[in-house]
Amino acid sequence: MTLSSKIAIAFGVLSLLLAVWALLLARSRRKHIRQGRELSAEAQAANSRVQAAEGRTRTEVQKRQAAESRTQELTTREAEILDEVRHLVSDRLPALALHLISSHHPVPGLLHKNLAGSEAAQLLDALPEAVSGIVLKERRRIDAAARAALRGATQESQALSYRLQTNIVGLQHEFSAPPRLTQSLLESDHINEQNLRLTQRSAIVCGGWPGHVRKDTYVSEVVSGASSRLRGFDRINIVSRLGLSNIGVVGRAAEPVAVVCAELMANALEHSRDDLMVDVGLIQTGNGSVCITIDDAGKGMTAEALARGRSLISGEQQEVMLLELGDPPSMGFAAIGRLVADYGLHVSIDTSSPYGGVRAVVSVPENLLTSIDESATPPSVMAPQPAVAPQAHKRPAAADSPAHAPAPTGASALPQRRRRFSATATNDETAAAPRPLNPEDTGAMWSDFQSGLTGDRSVTDSESTL
């Protein structure tokens, strides 16, 4: 074998070995690559599992935190509701009881404003409303029973007072009693009148009627008769400015008007000093109605009392409970409101009197007024007569006037003031001189007074009572 053959064989073997090594190397490389890919996939899968585990852990933590937050919120809400319940029991319900007595007492709301609109807040607010409705319903039932009992008692008391009045009047006219006994009878009669007014007022507030029906009565007699029912009637000064003296109140409204005037005059007397007068004026307006003004010189009324009085005398309240009138009940304005609503009168206490007190005005509409025949039914001698309009003084004629004194001359002379109408002044002074008392005239005046008193009593006795 030649050398070249050997060399060729060696190269062939070497090429074969190289090819085998390259083949083995490529196979090993593919194996390593495959293993690397498998390891990478396993690492990615492990990483994904780790991330999923971390996500689950975070979710569990969030759920646990949410549960703790919810638990804390429920605990806080429970504490707030318990506070609201305590506030309802200790503050709101007692304030509601005071509010039902007087609206000036406010009812507090919720302590925690964040509960507003929730179901718990609606229930907490519904409870006072339910309690208020139940209490008002029960109060109305009790008040109705009390008014019914008081109405029955006042009716019996009124009947007895009228009988007592009749007996006292009979004693006054049955025999000639000594002056001291006559004075005692008059005082007893006046006391009975005051008691009768209080009983009558209570009956009206409780839904009863004034007690008796009069005939058509002069306006001046209605007002003077109302003043005679009061203690301190001598402090009431009645001035009639009516254009006609025959203006009267129809029978069905005469007693209600008298009750209204009596209550307003009693209020004026009560709220002014004992040495102050109460002025009462009778005025006929242009629209045909008659206004009765009552002016006192008291301290006036507070804004709260004035608002309360307006509400009561307006007659708009269909039902006034006795519990709302104070302790003891002040029934004067409530009785006026009843009569205003029933008879169509109008009463106001909105203005101040010229003396700094309160001016009350009673307006009697035209449909409650009438004209009375003075010849058939003369007015009482005790009723105020219409005021006569003042007449202007007439200037005397030139012939009657005294001669003028000569005008002063000279620079030092001053003008002289001269009195005019000296003759008129002399006549006035002469007319103003007191007249000597005549026993016969005095007896005649007293006889007229007794006749008027007897006529008034006979009308009262003949009226239908309870």
Structure confidence by residue, pLDDT tens digits, 89-140: 888 888 888 888 777 788 888 877 777 777 888 888 888 888 888 888 888 8
With 0-12 / 13-18 / 19 or more C-beta atoms within 10 angstroms meaning exposed / middle / buried, residue 141 is exposed
Q: Strands 346-352 and 217-218, how do they pair?
A: unpaired
Among 33-47, 113-127, 240-254, 415-429, whose mean pLDDT is lowest?
A: 415-429
Q: Strands 278-284 and 236-241, how do they pair?
A: parallel
pLDDT for 215: 87
Which position has the higher pLDDT, 249 or 207? 249
For residue 259, what pLDDT band results from cuts at 50, 70 and 90? very high
Best mean pLDDT range from 236-250, 397-411, 440-454: 236-250
Task: Annotate 6-75 with DSSP letters as a single string.
Answer: HHHHHHHHHHHHHHHHHHHHHHHHHHHHHHHHHHHHHHHHHHHHHHHHHHHHHHHHHHHHHHHHHHHHHH
pLDDT for 260: 93
Kindly state the average pLDDT of the residues 287-294. 91
For residue 205, what pLDDT band results from cuts at 50, 70 and 90? confident
pLDDT for 426: 37
pLDDT for 440: 52
What pLDDT digit, counting tens, does each position of 298-328 carry?
888 888 888 888 888 887 776 777 777 777 7
Spatial contact of 455 and 377, defined as CB atoms under 8 Å apart: no
What pLDDT digit, counting tens, does each position of 53-80 carry?
888 888 888 888 888 888 888 888 888 8
pLDDT for 389: 53
For residue 404, what pLDDT band results from cuts at 50, 70 and 90? very low
Which position has the higher pLDDT, 348 or 186? 348
Which position has the higher pLDDT, 391 or 210? 210
pLDDT for 56: 86
Q: Strands 247-249 and 369-371, how do they pair?
A: antiparallel
